[in-house]
């Protein structure tokens, strides 16, 4: 890779570290007022990847100064037991953010569990109240991966208004909320999916391309308009020469020469997801604090950061 190509790389690790530094400053100001944001994680079962993700979230919370609690439950826990834990966290005024690590064991209804979380504490942004609010353009807790993508876009491009953004994928976790955020930023938005006709031709119209379909190296140079900014959300594990490695949804080698900027996999969008989770936790904490205040809101860290 030459120096010109390396300038195109979007360093998600550096961007995430900046977000964590900003969040830590907010948390420090809140603690100076005697208020400590807290994040609770519910982990059901023994999925190795889930345990790694939770460990990384706890580590980032510590770096940001956020108090974290992890509730580990057996894989055979009944759904009623999970709902009971969530109800207790909803009622605890010292807990400001709640997330349930996915996936859940097969016998547990995922939507039932996610809907049980208080929307004001739903730092993953998956509750229908937050999903609906996002589509209406209301200020709500937003899914962390799309929020991280928006941060990367704005850091690189500044004003997004009028740009044509193409989102490849229509999942509830990334594709749909990503499209809503881009619309809110006054982009023209096209969403491509498995039934789209001539997807490459549509994709070549994009100033911004978001790949979030979960198919390794699907998007090659034939999908890219020269000068487009490419955000690769995909994380796919493939076996190659007896080894497992991570690749995105974008064929990085063929797309790099055409793109004006591109996120690598790993090291691109991934670190931003956890960073934005920490930002959501502090935002939720501030909103709950202000709502609970019985006197007129005074100048505080919450008012300046939320």
Residue 2, preceding peptide bond in cis (omega within 30° of 0): no
Distance CA 160, CA 183 (A): 10
Element (H, E) at 200: helix 199-203
Residue listed under structure tokens 């944001």: 37
Task: Identify whether 124 is a catalytic site residue.
Answer: yes
What gap in Å lies between CA 49 and CA 67, rounded to an integer?
23
The dihedral built from the CA positions of residue 181, 118, 107 and 44, taken in this order, carries a sign that is positive
- Under 8 Å between Cβ of 250 and 219: yes
Q: Is the peptide bond before 266 cis (omega within 30 degrees of 0)?
A: yes
What 3-state class would DSSP assign to 48? helix
Q: Which of 101, 121, 122, 251 is catalytic?
A: 101
Tokens for 53, please give them: 């993700």
Kindly name the residue from 8, 121, 122, 124 that is annotated as catalytic.
124
List active site positions.
Answer: 57, 101, 124
């Amino acid at each position: 890779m030459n120096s010109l190509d390396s300038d195109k790389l979007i360093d998600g690790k550096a961007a995430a570290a900046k977000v964590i530094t900003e969040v830590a400053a907010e948390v420090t100001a809140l603690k100076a007022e005697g208020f400590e944001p807290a994040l609770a994680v519910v982990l059901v079962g023994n999925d190795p990847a889930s345990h790694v993700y939770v460990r990384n979230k706890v580590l980032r919370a510590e770096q940001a100064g956020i108090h974290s609690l992890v509730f580990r439950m057996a894989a055979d826990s009944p759904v009623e037991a999970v709902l009971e834990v969530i109800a207790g966290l909803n009622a605890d005024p010292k807990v400001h953010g709640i997330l349930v690590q996915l996936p859940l064991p097969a016998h547990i209804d995922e939507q039932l569990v996610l809907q049980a979380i208080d929307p004001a504490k739903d730092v993953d942004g998956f509750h229908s109240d937050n999903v609906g609010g996002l589509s209406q353009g209301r200020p709500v807790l937003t899914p962390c991966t799309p929020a991280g993508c928006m941060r990367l876009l704005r850091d690189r491009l500044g004003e997004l208004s009028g740009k044509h953004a193409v989102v490849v994928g229509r999942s509830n976790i990334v594709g749909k909320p990503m499209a809503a955020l881009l619309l809110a930023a006054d982009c023209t938005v096209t969403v491509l999916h498995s039934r789209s006709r001539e997807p490459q031709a549509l994709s070549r119209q994009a100033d911004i391309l978001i790949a979030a379909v979960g198919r390794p190296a699907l998007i090659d140079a034939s999908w890219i308009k020269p000068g487009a900014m490419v955000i690769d959300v995909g994380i796919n594990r493939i076996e190659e020469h007896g080894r497992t490695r991570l690749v995105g949804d974008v064929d990085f080698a063929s797309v790099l020469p055409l793109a004006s900027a591109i996120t690598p996999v790993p090291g691109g969008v991934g670190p931003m997801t956890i960073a934005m989770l920490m930002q959501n936790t502090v935002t939720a904490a501030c909103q709950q604090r202000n709502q609970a205040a019985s006197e007129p809101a005074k100048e505080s860290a919450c008012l300046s950061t939320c």
